[in-house]
């Protein structure tokens, strides 16, 4: 049996998504964001997180979902992608679960309006639960990472 994959589960537009625990630095409550001019619309700004300026994107905006008001459940999941830390605003962060890698299927072309390149796979969890696993390198593509790098300087 292969090694279980630890995944942080979060909600976005009525779907459940997952990201590998080892890529997550911290999960924060919503906090004031400082807007940065000349960035894509889904880049909401930066936060000062324990002395580190961290760019923050809204995953709803990134995937073309309608944006909503942030609530008490909204969270900023700080993830590490290559040498960059980025915050992703999600509707809520629910859970940490173990996923059997043998129960992860390749993503179909489009899932809930999200292109397959943003997805690592679809995990079957239990009888009726599907978890959409994100491919963080694509969610934050190289060009955008370069743009976000410039924010930090």
Residues 53-81: pLDDT tens digits? 999 999 998 888 898 999 999 999 999 98
Give the pair of three-digit tokens for residue 132. Answer: 């959409």
CATH of domain 5-152: 2.40.50.180
Give the gyration radius of the chain's Cα atoms: 15
How many CA within 13 A on the CB side of residue 97? 19
State pTM to two decimals: 0.87
**Domain segments of the chain as ranges:** 5-152
Instruction: Kindly report the backbone phi and psi dihedral angles of residue 147, in degrees, each rounded to the nearest multiple of 5, phi listed first.
Output: -60, -45
pLDDT recorded at residue 57: 93
d(CA 136, CA 147): 16
| 66 and 60 Cβ atoms separated by less than 8 Å | yes
**Confidence category of residue 148, pLDDT binned at 50, 70, 90:** low
Per the CB < 8 A criterion, the answer to whether 133 and 19 are in contact is yes
pLDDT for residue 142 is more than 70: no
State the Cα–Cα distance between residues 104 and 28, nearest whole angstrom: 28
Residue 83 pLDDT more than 90? Answer: no
* Sheet-wide strand order for 104-105: 92-99, 5-12, 15-20, 129-134, 119-125, 104-105
Assign 89 a pLDDT band (cuts: 50, 70, 90): very high
Range name among 10-19, 89-98, 112-121 with the lowest pLDDT average: 112-121
The mean of the pLDDT values for the chain is 86
DSSP 103: G
Q: What is the number of helices (H) and of strands (E) in the chain?
A: 3, 13
């Amino acid at each position: 049996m292969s090694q279980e994959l630890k995944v942080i589960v979060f909600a976005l537009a009525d779907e459940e998504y997952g990201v590998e625990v080892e890529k997550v630095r911290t999960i924060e409550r919503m906090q004031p964001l400082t807007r940065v001019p000349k960035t894509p619309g889904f880049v909401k700004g930066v936060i000062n997180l324990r002395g580190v300026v961290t760019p923050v994107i809204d995953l709803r905006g990134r995937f073309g979902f309608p944006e909503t008001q942030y609530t008490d459940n909204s969270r900023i999941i700080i993830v590490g992608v290559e040498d960059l830390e980025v915050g992703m605003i999600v509707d809520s962060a629910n859970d940490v679960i173990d996923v059997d890698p043998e129960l992860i299927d390749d993503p179909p072309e489009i899932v809930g309006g999200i292109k397959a390149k943003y997805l690592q796979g679809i995990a079957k969890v239990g009888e009726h639960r599907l978890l959409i696993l994100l491919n963080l390198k694509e969610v934050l593509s190289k060009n955008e990472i370069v743009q976000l790098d410039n924010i930090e300087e």
